[in-house]
Amino acid sequence: MKISLFGISGVPLGKHNVKDPQLDQADKLVEAKKKVYIQVDAIDAEHINEADAVMALDEAAPDLILRDLEFVESRLSRDPAGIELGLLPKLKASLEKEEFLFKLTFNPEEQAMVASYGLVTVKPTLAIKSEQIEKIGELWLTLVQACGYLSFLTLGGKENRAWQIKKGTNAWEAAGAIHSDIQKGFIRAEIISFADLVSNGGETQAKRAGKMRLEPKDYLMQDYDVVNFRFNK
């Protein structure tokens, strides 16, 4: 996913590892040759409309709100009707309180209308202070989760790895995040919850304690499920 940096300097553009405490914890419990985080793509403010989320310096965040407010006020000046008649005043009221629009709840019709506007703060937006820039690697995860993503883990052997999927993804779809061949040959997903992994001190111990479950294609993945996919090669 892409994150636009607004008013933030000193952070290289391009790929960044998303530091993940759960993967770090799992890596201490299960031996592997390397640890692989999910990544985000940091882009500049000029391409903010292409971003999935925004990270803004605290003192620059009001500029984003003002940008959206000017658009909303312009639409209001055109005698709106239909859905806009109720939607635009709601957007204006939130922006005038200096609140980001992504915190609002919209019905499906409003959501479709808002999506057509190209507003900035309707994207998950995180305002940070200058001293937090040094710890930016720990902040990516907040925006990843705000965008509706979760992670599942594959552990042991060559790598302990986190895989990024959307909330609501089923086991068959999650298998495709690793490789299309695993998805095509899907049989079952061996699942250990993250809580069971930790409480039993590792993957092998959790299996011995009977904490591994076999789940079908339509199983909805949970955040930080530890997974091994059975599949026909």
Residues 99 and 182 in one domain: no
- Report whether 165 contacts 145 (CB < 8 A): no
Burial grade of 78 (CB within 10 A; 0-12, 13-18, 19 or more): exposed
Domain residues for the domain of 86 are 2-18+39-128
Given a cut of 90, whether residue 135 has pLDDT beyond it is: no
Pick the last residue of a domain from 62, 97, 128.
128
The least confident of 63-67, 116-120, 122-126, 130-134 is 130-134
Residues 106 and 208 in one domain: no
pLDDT tier, 233 (very low <50, low <70, confident <90, very high otherwise): confident
- Report whether 195 contacts 123 (CB < 8 A): no
Residues 96 and 156 in one domain: no
> Burial code of 207-220, b = ≥16 C-beta within 10 A, e = fewer?
eeeebbeebeeebe
Residues 109 and 159 in one domain: no
Given a cut of 90, whether residue 6 has pLDDT beyond it is: yes
C-alpha distances in Å from residue 123, one per residue of 50, 54, 133, 144, 193: 11, 7, 20, 12, 30
pTM: 0.86
Per-position DSSP letters for 179-207, written without gaps between them: -HHHHHTEEEEEEE-HHHHHHTTSHHHHH
Pick the last residue of a domain from 98, 128, 158.
128
Considering its fold, how many domains does the chain have in total?
Answer: 2
Q: What is the pLDDT of residue 138?
A: 85
Domain with 188 in it: what CATH number? 3.10.20.30
Given a cut of 90, whether residue 137 has pLDDT beyond it is: no
Residues 98 and 195 in one domain: no
